[in-house]
Structure 1
């Protein structure tokens, strides 16, 4: 069997009806957001270059095109927090990742507390983000978000354990961990900014099912677009569902891509059906519930567009690859490739 050197990216969002829209405040907030990030002085030259190439102000603006200026800044700050946490933990073993996770969660629970000297940088980033976010989010949204973020950061601890052991999970176990460790559920928080949605809506089985179903297409696109980087960096192959599928199903890369398309189609059919069949919660609650669903739907489209319009996954070739969908695999190496940090949201 000849070695595969190129593959075609399937369009996992081909049936998603929401179009690309960019927030009208993008150009205005980008300098302010970039200044906020640089003030932490937390990134070395390589990490800062990677951050700049990612253009998280664009991600927030594509993902949440209907937010006002202040809430858009909060959305972008959340994207930066994901990056800082990822950069902090990507090179660490279990104990170091856990210390970083502990610092983040302490900052969420005690946002007015001065951060201790010497703690991981994401602690201070979390504090500043959260002090900003709590001004524009309901208490119930804050409570739900902190619970989800705790699940996320300690899921990343589990990933560090797997990485240290060289463990490649089976498909079911991998998906279960990635639901927790991807941060996808946390990335939906900006869709609640400025809204007041009680638990009776967000915990309703229909809404929970809708949110849960959105996680899978977002995880699949993350793993699809990051595969080339991860397969090239020794020690990170197990952090990608394509690798997991190839191992468990005994197929090559093209066979794994076929599996992706089939699984993604099944998830999208369920997701669109669930979205069409969400119930009414009455005239007082429906407007905010509808706005949240709209925000989640636009986040999915925006995240996909950003994957090609930034340099996160495909460097400067993103716009062309978006058109022709052909990816040439990087040679494998023992080192970390320039933008190797594992994408989350």
Structure 2
């Protein structure tokens, strides 16, 4: 155990047994909408995930409590059935990968990355019996017919970044390393898996935005502000479960370690960063240039899709059982979280 981890465990043992969450829901004024295909897509994705007896017992129960179909429907409210189904399959699969990577060393993540990326780059020719490869090829082949070339490229590239970052995360976990805040933020923007989801906003809404527009500094800044809100708020919401497992790949212990502050002060610190990221998104959106009527129309849809992710992820976090069990709505109302004991 590293000295930093030891200090955090000591600090945690002397901390209060509850924390007060920041009020991020009230700070976010974007309209929450839900896709009309939610129930049908949720049913079909469950069949897809559970095919061949995959996920049994507690893992299957955890999937039902995840309510991924609700997240997808909140974040892609205007998608047609076919696109929403592909996106929901991907997000479900991404949560599955995230759970797997929590228990992997860097060799395990590299092996999984090899399966997934070969399946994406060669969906019609790569052959592997590994289930993760089969699932990858299955949803990606359904995405290809209507995804623009730029969307396909952005999806694969950012998913590659995801695997590179979770490999680094696995190395840090094995070494008991707690990174500084700047390094953590840089890594977290990729371990979140958000960037491929932004490419799916293009896919879900049948957009074909030129590469030079997607690479414009304002568009990139909007994606980054959204990523920061989604991931930093997720670190707050998931902290209780993660601290009970001794996991320190979370912004709250990073801030406690770097700033030398207590748990509640770190929660407040990260909460303020989340509020600033929403404010940053609004400010950047006001700076959008014009590229002509048709591209401006598509950019508006894309940017609204980012706003849907901000408001959707915040509300879904309290509906899902992933972070607060069955008490999510109570936590949403009171913002009080009772800390779980550290697992032996």
| TM-score normalised by length of structure 2 | 0.92
Report what 2:208 is aligned to. 196
1:89–1:41: structure 2 CA closer, same or farther, 3 Å change rule?
Answer: farther
Aligned with 1:249 (options 255, 259, 266): 259
Per the TM alignment, residue 40 of structure 1 is displaced from its structure 2 partner at its CA by: 5.0
Please report how far the alpha carbon of residue 43 of structure 1 lies from its aligned counterpart in structure 2 after TM superposition.
2.3
What is the Cα deviation at residue 184 of structure 1? 1.5
The structure with the greater share of residues assigned to helix is 2
Q: Secondary structure at the match of 2:321?
A: coil
In the alignment, what sits opposite 2:168? 158
- What CA deviation, in whole Å up to 9, does each residue of 1:296-334 have, x standing for no partner? 111111111111112111111111111111100000013
Matches of 2:169 and 2:197, distance apart in 1: 19
Query: Do 1:47 and 1:87's aligned partners in 2 also have CA atoms closer than 8 Å?
Result: no
Distance 1:179 1:93 in 2: 20
Runs of 4+ in 1 over 4 A off after TM superposition: none
Secondary structure, aligned partner of 2:331: helix
Residue matched to 2:294: 284
- Spell out the pairing of 1:94-105 with structure 2 (5 A cutoff): 94-105=106-117
How far, CA to CA, are the matches of 1:8 and 1:136 in structure 2?
A: 45
The alpha-carbon deviation at position 156 of structure 1 amounts to: 0.6
1:67-109 Cα distance to aligned partner (Å, 9 max, x none)? 1111111110111121221233221211111100111111110
Aligned residue pairs total 330
Distance in structure 2 (CA, Å) of the matches to 1:274 and 1:257: 26
SS in 1 for 2:291: coil
Aligned to 1:216: 228
Question: How many angstroms does 1:17 deviate by?
Answer: 2.2
Cα distance change, pair 212–243 in 1 and its aligned pair in 2 (3 A): same
- Pairwise CA distance, 1:268: 2.6
* Corresponding residue for residue 339 of structure 1: none
Query: Pairwise mapping of residues 303-314 of structure 1 onto structure 2 (< 5 A)?
Result: 303-314=313-324
Gaps of 5+ in 2: 1-10
1:262–1:306 distance in 2 versus 1, CA, 3 Å: closer
Shift of 1:13: 4.3
Superposition deviation, residue 12 in structure 1? 2.5
Deviation at residue 269 of structure 1 after TM alignment: 2.5
Q: Secondary structure at the match of 1:10?
A: coil
Distance apart, 1:57 and its partner CA: 1.0
Matching of residue 205 in structure 1 with residue 204 in structure 2? no
RMSD: 1.6
Return the match for 1:8 from 16, 20, 33.
20
- Once residues 220 and 102 of structure 1 are traced to their aligned partners in structure 2, the CA distance between those partners, rounded to angstroms, is 28
